[in-house]
Amino acid sequence: MKQKMIILCAALLFMVGIWGCTPPQPTSKRWYTPQQVKSGQPLYARYCAGCHGEQGQGGKDWDRPKKDGSYSPQPLNGSGHSWHHTLSSLENTIAQGGTHPGATMPGFAHVTTQAQRYTIIAAFQDMWGDVIYTKWLYRAGL
47 binds ligand HEC (CB under 6 A): yes
Q: How far apart are CA 6 and CA 140, in angstroms?
A: 38
Residue nearest to ligand HEC (CB): 98
Q: How many residues bind ligand HEC (CB under 6 A)?
A: 23
Q: Minimum distance between the CB of residue 59 and ligand HEC, rounded to whole angstroms?
A: 7
Which residue lies nearer to ligand HEC by CB, 112 or 134? 112
Which residue lies nearer to ligand HEC by CB, 125 or 134? 125
77 binds ligand HEC (CB under 6 A): no
Residue 141: which region, alpha, beta or left (left: phi > 0; alpha: psi -120 to 50)?
A: left
For residue 27, which amino acid is it? T
Q: Minimum distance between the CB of residue 68 and ligand HEC, rounded to whole angstroms?
A: 11
Q: Quick check: helix, strand or coil at residue 14?
A: helix
Q: Is residue 52 within 8 Å of residue 58, measured between CB atoms?
A: yes
82 binds ligand HEC (CB under 6 A): yes
Q: Is residue 51 within 8 Å of residue 64, measured between CB atoms?
A: no
Q: How far apart are CA 61 and CA 110, in angstroms?
A: 30
Residues that bind ligand HEC (CB under 6 A): 47-48, 50-52, 70-71, 73-74, 76, 80-82, 90, 93-94, 98, 103-106, 108, 120
